[in-house]
Structure formats: C-alpha cells, structure tokens
Structure 1
Amino acid sequence: MTASIGGLISGLDTNSLITQLLRAEAVPQAALKTRLSIAKATAEAYRSVNTRFDAVRTAAEAMLKPEAWSAVKATSSASSVAASATAGAPTGSLTFDVKNTAAAHSVVSGINWTATTDPYGMTSPIEVRAADGSVKGTITVGGSGTLADAVQAINDSEFGLSATAVKVADGQYRLQVTSETSGAATSFDLGTAGTFAVATQGVDATLTVGSGTGAYDVTSSTNTFADLMSGVTITVSKPETAVTVEVAADPGAVVSKMQALVDAANQALSGIKTNTDPDGGAAATLKGDSALRALAGRVLEAVSFAVGADGSPATIGLQLTKDGTIAFDAAKFSAALADDPALAQRLGAGGPAGPGPDGVSGNADDVVPGVAQRLLDAAKAASDTTIGTLTLLAEGRDDLAGDLQDKIEAWDVRLIARRTALTRQFTAMETALSGLQSQSSWLAGQLNSLPSWS
C-alpha cells in the first residue's frame, strides 16, 4: 500500500498544513514585498513631480529668450495674402498690388495617341532645351518605346520634369510635361521645334509697390516673398490690389508665454502638494518629504522676493495667493509692457542692475535674475538629469527596489526548498503510518486465527 501526501493514512490535511507553515515562514518576504511596493510608488511619485519641473524649465527658457520680449505680429488686409514675422522684426507697413502669381512652365504634345500602349512615335532620345534654346540634355525612351514608357523616362530624368498622359477624349491621349518648380527661369521645350506647344508659360510672382513714377516691381520664382520687409515672409495666392501688410508689436504673445510659465509653476506646486499632503491618504506617497517642501519654497520665493532695485514682481501682475499658488494678472502685465517694456522685462526675466560688488559695469554680477530666471534655476536644481534633486531621489528608490527584488527572489528559492522538505517529511510520515497499519492488521489476523479455548 502506498501512502499519500494528502493524509489518507493519518487523516490529516497535510497539504493545508504545509501551506500554513510556508505562509508563516514567508512573513519576512511579505514585508519585503510591501517595502518594494512603497519604493516603486515613491520613485514614480518623484518622477511625476520631476516631469512638472521639467515643464517649468521649458517654459522659463522660452521666457528668457530675448526674442520672447520683442514679439511682433504681421497682418494682411487681404485674405489671399498671408504674412508672418520673426521676433524682433521692425514694425512698419507696406502697400502693394499682387500683379500675378508664380506658375510652372508646361508644354503639351501636338499629336494624339489612341492608348498609352501605342508607340511613342516621336524622336528619341527626347531633346530638352532651356528657354534660350540651348540644349540641356536628352532623355532616352526605354522599354517597348510606348507613350507610357516616354512618360516614365521623363519622370525618371534629372531635369526636374513631371510628365503625364492626359486623356482628352475617348481614344485620345496627349503628353503633357510640367516643370516641378515654378518661375520664369524654369521655362523649357522638348523635342524638335514645334513638337510641343506651351500649355502654361512659366512666370515669376510679381508685386507692384507704389503707383506713381517711382513704383517698382518685386519678383519671386515662387509665391513666397522672404524679407520683402525685414524679418517678414509674405505668401500670395491670387492677383490682388491695394494689399497692406503691417508689422506691429504683439504683447499678447509675451503674455501667453508668461501665462504658460505661471501655469507650469502652479502645476509643479500642485504635484508637490498632492504627494506630500499629510491628509492626502494613499495618494500622498511622499508625506513629510523635506526635499519637496524645499523645492516648493524656491518656486514661491521666485515670485515673492524683490528683483533688485526694480521692486516686487507684483508690479507686473505676479504675486502669491493665500493658498500657496502664483496668481498672474494678464491685464496688469500687458499694461506694464506698454508703459515700460524694459522694466517689465527686467522683472519678468532679469537684466542689468548697474555695477555689481566689484564696482565695474558689464560683468556677470551686474545681472539681477528675474522671475523666469529664478524659476529656471529652481527647475534645474530639481530635474537636472545628473544632479537634480528629484532625479537622484528617484534613482535612489530604484536602487532600493532592485535590492528588495533580489531579496524577494532569494526568498522564493528558500520557500521552494522548504516546501520540498516539508513534503518529503509528511510523505515519510504517511509511509511509516501505512507500514504500522499493515503490521497491526497482520497481528490482528494472527490473533483471530488462534484456536479458542473454552
């Protein structure tokens, strides 16, 4: 008779006993798993806050670019004329007529084919000539020498041409070839004289500035005129008269950048509050974290401290609220920009403040950091990929998690070995009990076989 680990001989639920014994022995491993979960959650919380500080860094860097404070906007009086200006472009206006738009040169064959599989039939190789009649090169029609082969050869050539077989009626195809670029200089002809006719003449786009004796034309091979006005790009789409393009300061763009910086800073403060709130429950993974509280302090100080002799950032609409966030008054900021742009820029970004401690003007110590520079410094201290506070804290938790994972895996090996040992012990017990039970049955049978004496 073979014993069973299930306790058929002893009557004990040995599988359950082994499970309970292993559960008791695995208590230290369970504690390690709890610590691992906390370490991972903490690392993730640090990274979440770090992402928000990285957004502060990006917004602050945008605010610190000199061109951010000299934003301009180009507008056009005609919907068919688009205008854009780079930061720092001089303000001013220009009025002009759009005489014509640019066109790509196109030619069409003088003969028809009944199908694209018909023989090309014209001279091959095809001669390509410039507008002045000079030969630029030739195109050899390969394959079977059909119209389709001619189209393919032209498209594959190095002359910047696009060919297509146009179906003009049932059983009638004509070969049209167009320059891939526009402008008068792209004019060309194909084949021998008279083989192709001009379908569209290649021309430059032309603007006429002025209407008197001093009026002049401006041309472009495309419909885009770069630097017609310094830093301004104009794109036309159809003839138009009396179009005025104006370049003016764009304080709204500066306001938007400052709003983006304030929003990013408030998001960083919100992330810190969520993760450190003593009453935040499970979501507050970093309760009492002094490093995060210090970072929050730096963000708030960036707005609360005066900027050199220029005074408080409140002058340009930046101040703290009672709930520990940054308030931004866009209207006040816009007014400050209009009233004293240099002061607004010094408070918002930073700037020269006169001779520094060395008494010499023009040195690095002469520059007083404004709100954006302070926020940039705070963001770099938090999220620098090498020495940032949040970066190092997250990496430290990652290292701890890796160590805990190794210990948990070591416990897995230990518990497997323990289960094997317990299983062997209970199996041996069941086997021994089975043997004893067999001996008892044999003895009972022997006793029962003895004769009875009355």
Structure 2
Amino acid sequence: MTMSIGGLISGLDTNTLITQLLQAEAVPQAALKTRLSIATATAAAYRSVNTRFDALRAAAETMLKPETWTAVKATSSATSVAATATAGAPAGSLTFDVKNTAAAHSVVSGINWTATTDPYGMTSPIEVRAADGTVKGTITVGGDGTLADAVKAINDSEFGLSATAVKVADGQYRLQVTSKTSGAAASFDLGDASTFAVATQGVDAKLTVGSGTGAYDVTSSTNTFADLMSGVTITVSKPETGVTVEVDADPAAVATKMQAMVDAANYALSGIRANTDPDGGAASTLKGDSALRTLAGRVLDAVSFAVGDDGSPATIGIQLNKDGTIAFDAAKFSAALADDPALAQRLGAGGSAGPGPDGVSGNTDDVVPGVAQRLLDVAKVASDTTIGTLTLLAQGRDDLAGDIQDKIEAWDVRLVARKAALTRQFTAMETALGSLQNQSSWLAGQINSLPSWS
C-alpha cells in the first residue's frame, strides 16, 4: 500500500494530520464504545442481583419443606454414644447399657514363615467355613504357591476376607485373616482343623435396655443401631452403663433456617440498593431502574403484610426496620413455635386457614401463602432461568451489547479504509508538490542560463 512520505516536501506533519482526522471521524465509534461499556456493566449488574434472588429462592424453598418444621435433635448422656434423629422423629427417651461393641472375626496361622516368598506349605485349596462349620467354598493359592500368593488369593476371593502377612519378629511371619464385616454372623474358619486359631472373636454390638425382669437385649452386627427409637440412629464406641438418649423438638434448627431466609432477603435488597443508589456514583449502574424498585417493594410486602386471618409476621419475629431492611428475632420465633407450632408454620410458610370464599374446606383457595411462599413467588418471578424479570433484563442488555459490538467492528473497517484514502491523498499531494518544486527549479535554472543584456 502507498504510504505518506511524512511531509518531506510540504513541511507538514501529514502522519499527525491523518491521525487527528481519523480521531475526529471516530467520535461516533467512541460513543458506541461508551454505550457498549454501559450495556455490559448493566447486564453484569442485573446478573449480580439475580444471583441474590436465586439464593433467596433456595432459602425460601427450604422453609417450605415440611421436614424443616419438624426438626428434632437427639442428645446422648455419654460422649461414647452418638445419636442423630431425622426430621419428624417422635419425642422420647431411652436408657440402656452398652454391653459390648461389635468386632470383626480374625484368625491367625499356627505356623511361621521366614519370608513372604517362602512356600505357603499348608493345604491348598484353602477351605473356608462359616461359624457353624458349613463349608462356604475354597480358595486356590496360585502363582508360585508362596505366602505372598496365599495373601493375594485370599484378598481376591469372594468371601469378604482381608489377609496380611504379619511380621512378628525378624525372620518370622504369620498369616492373619480378618472378616471385612463385623458381627457374629461374619465369623469363619480356614484350612484344616487347628490350622488357624481365633485371634479376635467376631461378635455383635449389644445393648441391654432396662434392669428388671423385663430387661431385654438389642444386637447389631455393627456399632450402629438404626431405628432403635423411631427415626433415631445410635452409634456406640465402647461399653458404657446408664446411657440415656433423648429426642426433642429442635426449634433452634428451624430458627436458623428462618434466619437464613431473612438474611437472603436482606442480601437481595442490599444488591438492589447498591445498584440503584442515586448517590452511589459509577457503582450504581442501575440508577432509577423501576423494575428493581418494584422487586424491592414486593420483597418488603412479602414480609410485612398480614397472613390471612393469622395476623402479622411480627408474631413470629419478622418485621421491617426503618431503614428498609428486615429484622428477625430468633428468640421470639422459637417461643412462638413452641407455643403454637401450627400457627408459626402458617405464618412462616403458609397453610390452610379454613374454608375459603366458596365456604368449602379442602380447596386451593383455602391455602394462604406465608412469608416463605410469598418470598419464593417474588424470587421465582425475578430469577427464573427462562422468563425471570432479571434474566430477561440481562439478556436484553447482552443483545444490545452484541449489536453495538457489531457496529464498532463495522467502524473499524470504515476507519481502516478512511486511513488508506487519506494516506493516498496526502501522498499524492506530496508527490504533486515535489513535481512542482522540480519544475520550479528547472525554470529557475533556465532563467539563470539566459544571456545577460546590459
């Protein structure tokens, strides 16, 4: 491409002139770049707020789960006994003694080997027998028939056994085989009679409930007792006497989840405030956005309006602060939950409030949405991945940014062409000036060569 010769003839800085002319012509493109930056930042701001509303949706859905409101806790009087309860487990208590814990059956060979590479030496295949003497099958020692091969064969067998060559002293190895599962039913024997001796007897864990004539034992092949009390799992770790496990309602767990929902609502509100604050400067990308102001109003309405005939959410400790945030009194909530669980759940989540306008019970119009349901409805409208308000607003800005980017790229092409044209024009000017200068010099020479007449 022909390039400008930089004003060598004219004395003008043509390269700078071209740059300045291009800058003037690129003003519309610069405006487009500013618009692109704003559109991109706006889309990001909508998505930031959308993330907060999605968190609110998840927290509200948790509060609407029936098991949230039937949370219970299990406690044990002994640190060696752990107890957990599933939601809805009935309250109650049970006292027992831990007689023994479960153990896995283990046998050890009666002979020693000097090294794991020594021949196994005992009968092969190895006979595997159950606790009652019933033959379960055999294990063939492959390879070179060494102790190591016997260990591998036992470990690879289908009988649920774990074998290892134990070094008991220098040059002395014994073969120990242990059941992979604990309990009396997993007891076994190997080889010929007296080939192996019992190292650990497999036994069940045993609890004794009561101390009178009606006392009874409860066993488990593991140290875990499932549903000894309905919905309760108990795990023991050592013998213990006089252990009491109690199951009670756990209002604190419900309050924690309610607090999480209120925190999520406040988090969503703070996101709206940060992005719409008229005094927030450049960080307030969405100043004056009516959609966000409407969402904030709906969140506040959801936690402040009365719930049917049950009254204000303030009854369960949820109310508005003067600064437009939401307050939650966990102690008041727990007290209300203990005093009237059904009322607390209707206010917090929603539920039937009796016959609706049609006067017939059991219809959908009987259900009054509580705080959680109302917040969930708001969050879904905002953050639905397909038709959510914030989702569509962000997508709209993405589309706008895409259109602007296309225009910016078109301007790039236009400016490249314009630079080439200007370069050609200035180069032509310099060339023309150079030609004129040459002609002027020639004419001056011709004039100077004319004879002088005096």
Task: Report the TM-score, using the length of structure 1 for normalisation.
Answer: 0.95
Contact 1:151 1:163 in 2 (8 A): yes
* Cα 1:60/1:437, change in 2 over 3 Å: same
Aligned-pair CA distance for 1:344: 1.2
1:395-434 Cα shifts (integer Å, max 9, x gaps):
1111111111111111112112222222222233333333
Contact 2:40 2:397 in 1 (8 A): yes
* Cα 1:177/1:23, change in 2 over 3 Å: same
SS of aligned partner of 1:228: strand
Contact 1:106 1:200 in 2 (8 A): yes
Tell me if 1:412 matches 2:374: no
Counterparts of 2:172 and 2:450 in 1: how far apart (Å)? 123
442-451 or 40-49: which moved more?
A: 442-451
1:112-162 Cα shifts (integer Å, max 9, x gaps):
222222222223332222222222223233333322222222222222221
* Cα 1:27/1:116, change in 2 over 3 Å: same
- What amino acid is the match of 1:27? V
Which residue does 2:389 correspond to in 1? 389
Q: How does 1:187-198 map to 2 (within 5 A)?
A: 187-198=187-198
SS of aligned partner of 1:227: strand
Tell me if 1:360 matches 2:347: no
Tell me if 1:423 matches 2:423: yes
Contact 2:127 2:139 in 1 (8 A): yes
Aligned-pair CA distance for 1:44: 0.9
276-285 or 74-83: which moved more?
A: 276-285
Contact 2:272 2:292 in 1 (8 A): yes
SS of aligned partner of 1:12: coil
Q: How does 1:260-299 map to 2 (within 5 A)?
A: 260-299=260-299
Counterparts of 1:322 and 1:89 in 2: how far apart (Å)? 41
Aligned-pair CA distance for 1:446: 4.7
Contact 1:3 1:430 in 2 (8 A): no
Which residue does 1:63 correspond to in 2? 63
Contact 1:298 1:378 in 2 (8 A): yes
- What amino acid is the match of 1:264? A
1:167-202 Cα shifts (integer Å, max 9, x gaps):
111121112111111111111222222222211111
Counterparts of 1:165 and 1:226 in 2: how far apart (Å)? 36
Task: Report the TM-score, using the length of structure 2 for normalisation.
Answer: 0.95
Which residue does 1:155 correspond to in 2? 155
Aligned-pair CA distance for 1:442: 4.2
1:293-329 Cα shifts (integer Å, max 9, x gaps):
1111111111221111111111111111111111112
284-293 or 438-447: which moved more?
A: 438-447
* Cα 1:11/1:361, change in 2 over 3 Å: same
Contact 1:3 1:431 in 2 (8 A): no
Mark the runs of 5 or more structure 2 residues left unpaired by the alignment: none
Aligned-pair CA distance for 1:207: 0.7
Counterparts of 1:136 and 1:219 in 2: how far apart (Å)? 25
- What amino acid is the match of 2:214? G
Tell me if 1:308 matches 2:275: no
Which residue does 1:106 correspond to in 2? 106
Which residue does 1:204 correspond to in 2? 204
Which residue does 1:237 correspond to in 2? 237
- What amino acid is the match of 1:20? Q
Which residue does 1:403 correspond to in 2? 403
Counterparts of 2:68 and 2:171 in 1: how far apart (Å)? 62
Contact 1:3 1:9 in 2 (8 A): no
Counterparts of 2:60 and 2:199 in 1: how far apart (Å)? 55
Contact 1:348 1:370 in 2 (8 A): yes
Which residue does 2:20 correspond to in 1? 20
Counterparts of 2:114 and 2:22 in 1: how far apart (Å)? 89
Counterparts of 2:106 and 2:158 in 1: how far apart (Å)? 17
Counterparts of 1:398 and 1:144 in 2: how far apart (Å)? 70
SS of aligned partner of 1:97: strand
SS of aligned partner of 1:31: helix
Contact 2:98 2:207 in 1 (8 A): yes
Contact 2:4 2:15 in 1 (8 A): no
Figure out how many residues of one structure are paired with residues of the other and give that number.
453
Aligned-pair CA distance for 1:205: 0.9
Which residue does 1:136 correspond to in 2? 136
Which residue does 2:345 correspond to in 1? 345
Identical counterparts, % of pairs: 89
Aligned-pair CA distance for 1:85: 0.4
Moved segments of 4+, more than 6 Å: none
